[in-house]
Structure 1
């Protein structure tokens, strides 16, 4: 019996040069984990189903782009639970953590909560 039985999915992953699905390659970048920890820290203590859903999406996001796009959902949950000022301040704290992790196209015009007051 073969332990590593070839199948179509594994063959496609090999052709595309990607890690196998069971790989933990997403853990390699400590900076990505730093962003994830910061986002989870700020979501801690917020109750409700929507906050739990966002927290789970942050926890299992596979790359910096996924975390970047989760910021708007996170800001909405923070604004509902703690107020818009706290949510805006949190976004200002988290934004610099993404520096160097995102494609240049995502670093365009800063949203209002990132602009200097």
Structure 2
């Protein structure tokens, strides 16, 4: 008796790589969670509707790109609580965590950080 009969479906799944862990997916997922925790850490100790909404958006962001674009919203959420200088410093600590997690072409500057110019 053969336990694993080969058939078209199994061959197709093998071709598509289903049910096999991707060697880079685990690293990307770990990076995503590191960034998510760092962003959520900035909200610790704060209360209010906007803080709760921001926390929810960070927790349910599906990928690293979503977290990248939520940086601006996080900045705006923290601004009334922490002030411009402290908020900018906090986000400057989070930004390097995105290094290597998605292409540079997607990245945009935070408020107050102009795009670098090549002279």
Q: TM-score, normalised by structure 2?
A: 0.67
Structure 2 stretches lacking a partner, 5+ long? 1-16, 20-24
Partner of 2:41: 41
The 5 A counterparts of 1:60-99 are 60-99=60-99
Relative to structure 1, the CA distance from residue 56 to residue 111 in structure 2 (aligned partners, 3 Å threshold; closer, same or farther) is: same
Q: Kindly tell me the number of residue pairs found equivalent between the two proteins.
A: 94
Relative distance call for 1:28 and 1:98 in structure 2 (3 A) is closer
Q: Which has the larger radius of gyration?
A: 2
Q: What is the alpha-carbon distance in structure 1 between the residues aligned to residue 80 and residue 27 of structure 2?
A: 31
Structure 2 contact 28–101 (Cα < 8 Å) conserved: no
Asked if the contact 2:39–2:58 (Cα under 8 Å) also holds between the matched residues in 1, the reply is yes
Q: Extract unaligned runs of 5+ from structure 1.
A: 1-16, 20-24
Q: Deviations over 1:29-70 (max 9, x none)?
A: 111100000001111111110110010000110100100111
Cα shift at 1:81: 0.7
Inter-partner Cα distance in structure 2 for 1:28 and 1:95: 16
Q: Which residue of 1 aligns with 2:58?
A: 58
1:88–1:113 Cα contact (<8 Å) kept:
no
SS at match of 1:112: coil
Q: Is the 8 A contact 1:65 1:102 kept in 2?
A: yes
Q: Is the 8 A contact 1:92 1:114 kept in 2?
A: no
